[in-house]
Amino acid sequence: MGLTNARGKVAQQATNATFFFQGVISTTQIPRIPELIDNLNVTFTVWGLIIGLAGLGSLIGLTMANRFIVRYGARRMVLIGSLAVSTLMMTLPWITNPWLFFTVQVVSGFCGSVMGIALNAQSVVLQKLLNRVVIGRFHASWSIGATASAAVAGVFAGFMPLWLHLTIVPLLSAIAFFWTTSKMLTTEEIGHANEKKSEKRIPFFKSPPQVWLLTAGLFTGVFPELCMMDWSAVFAQEAMGLNAGLGAIPYTIFSGAMIVGRLSIGRLTKRFHISELSKWGGIFGSVTLGLGVLLGPLLAQVDQILALVALSVLWGATGLGLAPMVPSFFTGAGFVKGLTTAQAMARMSLVNSIIIMGAKIFMGALAQNVNIVAAFIFPTALMLAAGFIAHVVAKRAKRADAVAMAFPPTGPISIIEN
């Protein structure tokens, strides 16, 4: 089943806009995280436990999303999930009980997970119906929304009360979701664009070794970005003494650089295999991430503005290095013998979600029991490891397939939202 040019254009615009506003929702609270921690009156260790174990919601969502999508349709689940996440975000400024905050985060993670899977299902099927690569644009829209939201949130943090900020942005986004989802593909248009099933079902615990190597790569590639989302504002405040407005700048630069890097993947892979981009991106990015973490606090003792500029430049370079790494591991998922791409990705995502929960808790414990600077050495080391794993794994993909699969899964993929 095909689409007319006019209908295809409308569906693309609607999907792009949905990804954009999902990015807005995902990062608007980043500059306000220190305030949320203060509201709860918890240590960094407890905060790490909250955001780590809240991933249980996403994990449950991963196991149940397909049932909801089959029964109710992807478009409807995108709308329900987006409205639920927006509504729950409005409650965060008013919560002072850590257990209640944790519960809200778990529910939000579940809803966000279902929404993310449904939205990605829409984007994959739309690409098939259009018969050209457009997924990169969708996920770039997420990154643009996330970067713009973090930047605006940094400005808001300078004069707007937390409760007002986390009411206006989610409310406007919820209104936008009503319009964007109404223009997305219907169940009838989606049809049966399914991938051919594998000939023999391979049990989960007997998955090919390549799946576990890909999972390790996915974790090491995703977690540094998660740390930037969860801890960059805390680092700016605790290690460098910056206020909420200035503290949002390094993450904004980092995220903006990732947009540039991800929009450049298609062009760069015409000359270089994505495995090489990932390899050198991981090595180069880990160096700049580590230098920023070490030099930022030292320079801040002399001149905070100089320190801010240096950190922003270094973390911007980190964003460029990080951009191709996760796409390379999802590319590798398309070349696992005996498994379809969907099966390999589902297994990778499930295990990755579990590992990330523990890693977030460990990150919080490091920040509390050592310091925030030492804690950031953890994602720095992981990013370096991701570069080497990418060199081993992603080179198995053919260049043409690597380009087609090289879309950035940040944000819309539920495994990295909580």
Tens-digit pLDDT profile for residues 44-75: 999 999 998 988 998 888 778 777 877 888 88
pLDDT at 213 > cutoff 50: yes
* pLDDT confidence bin for 418, thresholds 50/70/90: very low
**Residue 315 near residue 288 (C-beta atoms within 8 A):** yes
Query: Across 86-90, 271-275, 392-396, which has the greatest mean pLDDT?
Result: 86-90
**Residue 126 near residue 74 (C-beta atoms within 8 A):** no
Q: What crossing angle do the helices spanning 377-393 and 304-322 adopt, rounded to 10°?
A: 20
pLDDT at 134 > cutoff 70: no
**Residue 400 near residue 271 (C-beta atoms within 8 A):** no
Neighbours of 398 (CB within 10 A): 12
The CATH number of domain 5-190+209-416 is 1.20.1250.20: yes
Sign of CA dihedral 30, 59, 383, 366: positive
> What 8-state DSSP symbol labels residue 334?
G
* pLDDT confidence bin for 403, thresholds 50/70/90: very low
> What 8-state DSSP symbol labels residue 31?
G
Query: Considering only 149-153, 269-273, 337-341, which range has the smallest mean pLDDT?
Result: 337-341
CA nearest to 22, candidates 69, 84, 74, 67: 84
Looking at residue 409, its pLDDT comes to 41
Within 278-333, strands assigned E span none
CA angle 376, 219, 380 (to 5 degrees): 25
Looking at residue 22, its pLDDT comes to 92
Domain boundaries, the chain: 5-190+209-416
Average pLDDT over residues 147-166: 91
Q: Name which residue leads in pLDDT, 220 or 8.
A: 220
**Residue 350 near residue 287 (C-beta atoms within 8 A):** no
Looking at residue 306, its pLDDT comes to 96
* Non-local CB neighbours of 28 within 8 Å, separated by 6+ positions: 89, 149, 150, 152, 153, 165, 166, 169, 170
**Residue 55 near residue 353 (C-beta atoms within 8 A):** yes
Q: Name which residue leads in pLDDT, 342 or 129.
A: 129
Residues 392, 377, 147, 131, Cα dihedral to 10°: 10
* Non-local CB neighbours of 299 within 8 Å, separated by 6+ positions: 306, 307, 310
- Mean per-residue pLDDT of the chain: 84
Q: Name which residue leads in pLDDT, 284 or 203.
A: 284
* Non-local CB neighbours of 203 within 8 Å, separated by 6+ positions: none
Q: 310-335, pLDDT tens digit by residue?
A: 999 999 999 999 988 877 777 677 67
> What 8-state DSSP symbol labels residue 273?
-
Looking at residue 170, its pLDDT comes to 96
**Residue 327 near residue 405 (C-beta atoms within 8 A):** yes
pLDDT at 137 > cutoff 80: no
Q: Name which residue leads in pLDDT, 4 or 404.
A: 4
